[in-house]
Amino acid sequence: MDATKVIEEKFLALSGRLDEATLRLWAAVEALTLGHGGVSTVASAVGLSRTTIYAGLRELAMAPSGGEPVTARMGRVRAKGGGRKKLTAKDPTLLRDLDALVEPTTRGDPQSPLRWTCKSTPRLAKELVAQGHQVSQRTVCDLLAQLDYSLQATRKIHEGGQQADRDAQFSHIAATAAQYQAAGDPVVSVDTKKKELVGDFKNGGREWQPKGRPEGVRVYDFIDPQLGKVAPYGVYDVGANQGWVSVGITHDTAAFAVESIRRWWREMGQPLYPAARRLLITADCGGSNGYRVRLWKVELQQLADELGMVIQVCHFPPGTSKWNKIEHRMFCHITQNWRGRPLVSREVVVNLIGNTTTTEGLRIQAQLDDRDYPAGVKVSDQELAELAIERDEFHGEWNYRLKPRDLGG
């Protein structure tokens, strides 16, 4: 067997067990053993470059007799300065130019071609190549991390103009709610959940299905004329951690909102608070239960007359609807419960809402409300003047109570 074949077999046996430094030293020893032409023979047999083998010969010459190589004593695998130079070392303007492309308005050219396009890593790499840099998409990812960039979604933090008494209103709501709860009276948070298309439409999220067999849904979200949309209106009992949802099929009006509160009281509220003579409602400033909606107050007055109960309302300041407790204590769990499931019928919507629970003990009842609630109902000044309404001294437009008229309100 010739020397080349022997060395090749040795290399196959050792290559997976030796690191880079030890492998080049072994190749150097084999070259020394072969004598003249040994470097070329070993290089041809094992595929190492002649430069690498000569580097191993130099390391052997530097090592003391019977001692370990210099590179091993230094804790290195490669000799100092070995390997390819970093791209940023060979191209000192690369990081600066990449930073300018990612943030053109603050660090670079405001007229950068990437200011109005998606700044994906392939597009960034293409633009850098056009500027004369030799860079790949994968390298751009590493360089962005080096510049302390990361993929991030937008975050909702700007609430628009803030009302001067915003914080004071929050404190007023908290104090009023605490007073009601200390007295054993109900405190509810109300709101309308986003309207949902009924039918085999895509619903965000994922659910376990047999592999390769996702549930099919419609390509286009055109409303089904037979099934239409549903408007879930929720009533969340803050103290009991219980909720009621009326699933409406027509318009989300103030009449529908108050009817939902009425149904909550009959089905859930009254059994829990049989001796209650007042009710606190916290609500947003807009929508069907907005503080400017006349019909909202008229319908609440009718409910107060019917129940013989004082109904107090506190509205959250404009632009702060996400602070309403129903949003993050009930609606978010409903959305999580039906993620990835097409809402194929009204019954499915009702059942998915009604079976929503949490480890903290949330319990929800849901019911379909198939009554028609016409939009555009007008309330006259006369009807408004007949209300038994008392407004608080502090922002009476946000904080008011409606007394039963048969009690001399």
Q: Does a structural domain hold residue 239?
A: yes
Q: Does a structural domain hold residue 247?
A: yes
Q: Does a structural domain hold residue 190?
A: yes
Q: What is the pLDDT of residue 113?
A: 58
Which residue range is the domain that position 59 belongs to? 3-73
Q: What is the CATH number of the domain that holds 331?
A: 3.30.420.10
Picking from 73, 97, 112, the residue at the C-terminal end of a domain is 73
Domain count, the chain: 3
Q: Does a structural domain hold residue 78?
A: no
Q: pLDDT per residue over 336-370, tens digit each?
A: 999 989 999 999 999 999 999 999 999 999 999 99
Verify that 350 and 228 share a domain, yes or no.
Answer: yes
Verify that 280 and 353 share a domain, yes or no.
Answer: yes
Verify that 22 and 114 share a domain, yes or no.
Answer: no
Verify that 109 and 18 share a domain, yes or no.
Answer: no
Picking from 26, 51, 73, the residue at the C-terminal end of a domain is 73
Verify that 118 and 194 share a domain, yes or no.
Answer: no
How many beta carbons lie within 10 A of that of residue 256, not counting itself?
22
pTM: predicted TM-score of the whole model, two decimal places = 0.69
Q: Does a structural domain hold residue 19?
A: yes
Q: What is the pLDDT of residue 409?
A: 44
Q: pLDDT per residue over 157-177, tens digit each?
A: 766 666 788 899 999 999 999
Q: What is the pLDDT of residue 321?
A: 82
Residue 326, H or E segment = helix 325-326
Q: Does a structural domain hold residue 362?
A: yes
Angle (CA) 140 144 149, round 5°: 155
Indicate if the pLDDT at residue 408 is higher than 50.
no
Q: What is the pLDDT of residue 100?
A: 85
How many beta carbons lie within 10 A of that of residue 217, not counting itself?
14
Q: pLDDT per residue over 198-208, tens digit each?
A: 999 998 888 88
Verify that 107 and 189 share a domain, yes or no.
Answer: no
Q: Does a structural domain hold residue 253?
A: yes
Verify that 124 and 232 share a domain, yes or no.
Answer: no
Q: Does a structural domain hold residue 160?
A: no
Verify that 297 and 327 share a domain, yes or no.
Answer: yes
Verify that 127 and 181 share a domain, yes or no.
Answer: no
Rounded CA-CA distance 238/186 in Å is 8
What's the one-letter identity of residue 258?
Answer: V
Verify that 125 and 229 share a domain, yes or no.
Answer: no
Verify that 197 and 291 share a domain, yes or no.
Answer: yes
Q: What is the pLDDT of residue 79?
A: 58
Verify that 192 and 100 share a domain, yes or no.
Answer: no
In sequence order, what are the residues at sequence separation of 6 or more whose Cβ sits closer than 8 angstroms to the Cβ of residue 345?
198, 227
Average pLDDT over every residue of 121-138: 92
Indicate if the pLDDT at residue 66 is higher than 60.
no
